[in-house]
Structure 1
Amino acid sequence: MRTFLNGLYKASGLAAAMFMAGIGLAVLAQVFGRMLGMTADATELSGFFMAAATFLGLAYTFRDGGHIRIGLLVTRLEGRARKAFELWSCLVGAGLAAYTSVYAVIFAFESHEFNDISPGLLAIPFWIPQAGMAAGLVILTVALLDAAWAVAHGRKAGYERNEDAVLGE
Structure 2
Amino acid sequence: MADPARARKLAKRISQIVAHAIEHDIKDPRLNFVTITDTKITADLHDATLFYTVRGENLESAPDYNAAAAALESARGVLRTKVGQGTGVRYTPTLTFTADSVPDDARRIEELLARARKADEKVARRATRAQHAGEADPYKAPREEADDDEIADEETRG
- TM (norm. structure 2) is 0.31
Q: Higher RCO, 1 or 2 (CA under 8 Å, sep at least 6)?
A: 1
More strand by share: 2
More helix by share: 1
- TM (norm. structure 1) is 0.29
In our comparison, the structure showing a higher alpha carbon Rg is 2
